[in-house]
Amino acid sequence: MLALQKLGQKLAALSEKQFQKIQFPEEALFEALEFYRSLPEKKYEARRRQMQFIGKVMRGIEPDSLQAQLDAMETTDNEEKHKHYQAEQWRDRLLDNPKQVTDFLNEFTTDVQRLNRLIRAAKKARELNKDKGEARSLYRALYEAIAH
Asked if residues 118 and 141 have their Cβ atoms less than 8 Å apart, the reply is yes
* Residue 88 pLDDT class (50, 70, 90 cuts): very high
What is the rounded CA–CA span in Å between residue 62 and residue 77?
Answer: 24
* Residue 76 pLDDT class (50, 70, 90 cuts): confident
Largest pairwise CA distance in the chain: 64
* Residue 5 pLDDT class (50, 70, 90 cuts): confident
**Going from the N-terminus, what domains does the chain have, and what CATH number goes with each?**
2-62 (no CATH), 80-147 (1.10.60)
What is the rounded CA–CA span in Å between residue 135 and residue 49?
Answer: 49
Q: Is the pLDDT confidence value at 132 over 80?
A: yes
pTM of the model: 0.58
pLDDT at 30: 94
What is the phi-psi region of residue 129: left when phi exceeds 0, alpha when psi lies from -120 to 50, beta otherwise?
Answer: left
What is the rounded CA–CA span in Å between residue 32 and residue 143?
Answer: 38
Q: Is the pLDDT confidence value at 23 over 80?
A: yes
Q: Is the pLDDT confidence value at 147 over 80?
A: yes
